[in-house]
Amino acid sequence: MDGSFGKNCIERCGSNCISCNAITGVCEIGCSTGWEGTFCEQKCPENTYGVGCNESCGNCTNKEQCHHVNGNCPFGCDTGVYGMKCDQECPHGRYGINCGQTCPSYCKGCNRFSGVCEFGCQSGWRGTLCEDIGRYYNVY
């Protein structure tokens, strides 16, 4: 009987086992996505997911484990990345947690983690976030 093993096939194969040995119950063909072990009884180890646990998790918030089957980050992303799997870098002009912050207006390009203007400020502005007016006035 498929899905069973042992004497008189009264034992059930592991629920995450694709197909098990009729005598021992060992999962010989492999495990369902997100599972591993001799009997497919263990979730993928930390920072891995997917078929054979061969995929690496993205950058989930607070270093949380991603979902062992699909790799999604259940509590969102760490700074500098976005997407369901937190594996995409912030697009130009965005930074922070889940890329939820907009880079300063007068910035020539900001750091995707901190928002600091890495390539300087537009003319007339200064500061790490290009927040200060950099005009100098002559006093007569």
pLDDT digit string, tens, across residues 26-83: 998 899 999 999 999 999 999 999 999 999 999 999 999 999 999 999 999 999 999 9
Nearest CA-CA partner of 40 in 57, 56, 51, 26? 26
Neighbouring C-beta atoms of residue 29, cutoff 10 Å: 9
Each domain of the chain, given as residue ranges in start order, spans: 1-43, 58-100, 103-140
Residue 137: which pLDDT band, with cuts at 50, 70 and 90? very low
Share of the chain above pLDDT 70, in %: 94
Radius of gyration of the chain (CA): 26
The reported pTM is 0.76
**Sequence-ordered strand ranges (E) for 76-131:** 81-82, 88-89, 94-95, 101-102, 125-126
pLDDT at 31: 94
pLDDT at 140: 47
pLDDT at 10: 82
Cβ proximity of 13 and 20 under 8 Å: yes
